[in-house]
Amino acid sequence: MKKIFFISFFVLILVACKKTEFSPEGPTDVRVRNLSDLNFEDVIVSTSEKVGDTILFGVIAGKAVSEYFRFSKAYSKAEISAKINIGGTLMQFSTGPENYTYMDYKSQVRMTFEVYISDMNKRELTISNIILEEPLVLK
């Protein structure tokens, strides 16, 4: 009787164990919405620690949205830098570097970072919102 119970228990454990399926890291399509009235020039977005996940977006006009760019992986935070014309001089603004160590990646989606100028004196940009728009359909 003990043998049957032990074998049944062992079989039950083996059947119950299965590999956990994780969603893929990417790719992720990302765009940036400029919430300020000023143009962002030479916008550079870095979405992860991977080398290829830094892309030049170009110019994003005030209150406008960029086109989508594909990243191999993206998180809910990003390092975004832009040059902004202040009094005829292009000044470098940035969200600052991010530590992606404990962040969850956003998987295969299209997403928008909404960015505004949080401090003109310190030249800081801030991501105010992340909009997950739709699942990414890969063909």
What pTM was computed for the model? 0.82
Instruction: Classify the phi-psi angles of 123: left when phi > 0, otherwise alpha if psi is within -120 to 50, otherwise beta.
Output: left
Tens of pLDDT along 81-100?
999 999 999 999 999 999 99
- Domain of 66 in residue numbering reads as 23-135
Q: Give domain status of residue 44, yes or no.
A: yes
Q: What is the 3-state secondary structure (H, E, C) of 81-131?
A: EEEEEECCEEEEEECCCCCCCCCCECCCEEEEEEEEEEECCCCEEEEEEEE
Q: Give domain status of residue 71, yes or no.
A: yes
Q: Give domain status of residue 14, yes or no.
A: no
Count: domains in the chain: 1
H runs (alpha helix) in 31-76: none
Q: Give domain status of residue 117, yes or no.
A: yes
Q: Give domain status of residue 7, yes or no.
A: no
Q: Give domain status of residue 64, yes or no.
A: yes
Tens of pLDDT along 96-134?
999 999 998 999 999 999 999 999 999 999 999 999 999
